[in-house]
Amino acid sequence: MTRQADTLDLTPRTGMPSACASGGCGGAEPLLPPPPSFGDVRVNGVEIDPESIAQEIQHHPAPDMETAWAEAARALAVRELLLQEARRLDLTAEPEEDEAGRIEPEDDALIRCVLETEVSPELPDDDECQRYYAANQQRLRTPDLFDAAHILIEPESAEADAWTVAERRAGEIAQTVGDDPAAFAVAARTHSSCPSRQQDGSLGQVRRGELVGEIHEALEHMADGTTMIRPVRTRFGWHVLRLQRRIPGRTLPYEVVRPKIAEMLEARSWTMASARYIAALAERGRVEGIRIGGE
């Protein structure tokens, strides 16, 4: 059973640089960090190999090596604790196959099996879903949309003078077309370096984050039906921007988002119940060198 993260979603790579050929970006196996100063880690007498902890560190980014080592050791201790419990319960798990055809490792299947067997999260009722809906209106909205268009004037070179010429040209176009949409469309077809010129410069209805930051920042301060007189610079060149209209997002109806809310709350409940179960296993057993739960 796959558990989703505690979130609610409503909505050219280049080649290696030449330095890689000399070993700067790969080649030899990476050196494993030395273990910090704390002692051995054991779970019911079974030692967690320091080399395994060092290998696990890559999955636990932390501000310092001591913290990363502790998090890696804790993760492997929890894994060993669950595997021991699965064997004690004499559980047998059938490894599953993912969408890419990869077979689940046997130990992972056992851990999944013991958690599915022993952990029973409380399912959210409608009242709990309603409370979440009422308290999270801003998260349950469709995104604001910007119906925008632009005219891109690219500099002829990377030189500062070329950028100055391109800026002057973009400013003249902005002054000429003003807020006239027909004049803007003609200018886009005539002057723009962007393929959008074939659609009169239209960028379509875009959300925040879909365009470069400089353009979105400018669009945020524009009124509907206007052209920005001052061109906006990005790494691509100078842009004459027009905002046709802003389409505000709206709060989605409860009946539309309820299944997503229930799924998220169930995943949260399962995570909390699993943490309590693991802490109880650690309390009943003997875990040395690392602390599990109760922190």
Establish if 231 belongs to a structural domain.
Answer: yes
| Whether residue 157 sits in one domain with residue 108 | no
**Tens digits of residue pLDDT in 147-173:** 999 999 999 999 999 999 999 999 999
Class of residue 60 by CB neighbours under 10 A (exposed 0-12, middle 13-18, buried 19+): middle
| Whether residue 166 sits in one domain with residue 118 | no
Q: What is the band of 294 on the pLDDT scale with cuts at 50, 70, 90?
A: low
| Whether residue 84 sits in one domain with residue 59 | yes
pLDDT score of 192 more than 70: yes
User: What pLDDT, on the 0 to 100 scale, is given for residue 16?
Assistant: 33
Establish if 23 belongs to a structural domain.
Answer: no
User: What pLDDT, on the 0 to 100 scale, is given for residue 32?
Assistant: 52
User: What pLDDT, on the 0 to 100 scale, is given for residue 25?
Assistant: 41
Kindly report the number of other CB atoms within 10 A of residue 264's CB atom: 20
CATH code of the domain covering residue 172: 3.10.50.40
User: What pLDDT, on the 0 to 100 scale, is given for residue 33?
Assistant: 52
**Tens digits of residue pLDDT in 49-86:** 999 999 999 999 999 989 999 999 999 999 999 999 99
Strand, coil or helix: 233: strand
| Whether residue 149 sits in one domain with residue 111 | no
pLDDT score of 6 more than 80: no
User: What pLDDT, on the 0 to 100 scale, is given for residue 38?
Assistant: 55
Establish if 137 belongs to a structural domain.
Answer: no
| Tokens found for residue 261 | 């809310």
Cα(49)–Cα(73) distance, rounded to whole angstroms? Answer: 9
Cα(216)–Cα(44) distance, rounded to whole angstroms? Answer: 57
Q: What total of structural domains would you count in the chain?
A: 2
Indicate the average pLDDT of the chain.
87
33-45 per-residue burial string, b: 16 or more CB within 10 A, e: under 16: eebeeeeebbbbe
Establish if 1 belongs to a structural domain.
Answer: no
| Whether residue 260 sits in one domain with residue 243 | no
Establish if 11 belongs to a structural domain.
Answer: no
User: What pLDDT, on the 0 to 100 scale, is given for residue 176?
Assistant: 96
Q: Tell how strand 226-227 and strand 202-206 pair up.
A: unpaired
| Whether residue 165 sits in one domain with residue 108 | no
Q: Is 209 left (phi over 0), alpha (psi -120 to 50) or beta?
A: left
Establish if 83 belongs to a structural domain.
Answer: yes
Sign of the torsion angle spanned by Cα atoms 31, 32, 33, 35: negative
Cα(64)–Cα(238) distance, rounded to whole angstroms? Answer: 43
pTM reported for the whole predicted model: 0.61
Q: What is the band of 43 on the pLDDT scale with cuts at 50, 70, 90?
A: very high
Establish if 10 belongs to a structural domain.
Answer: no
| Residue type (1 letter), 209 | G
| Whether residue 92 sits in one domain with residue 153 | no
pLDDT score of 21 more than 70: no
Q: Print the domain residue range for 225.
A: 145-247
| Whether residue 155 sits in one domain with residue 109 | no
| Whether residue 161 sits in one domain with residue 192 | yes
Whether the CB-CB separation of 53 and 41 falls below 8 Å is answered with yes
pLDDT score of 18 more than 50: no
Establish if 21 belongs to a structural domain.
Answer: no
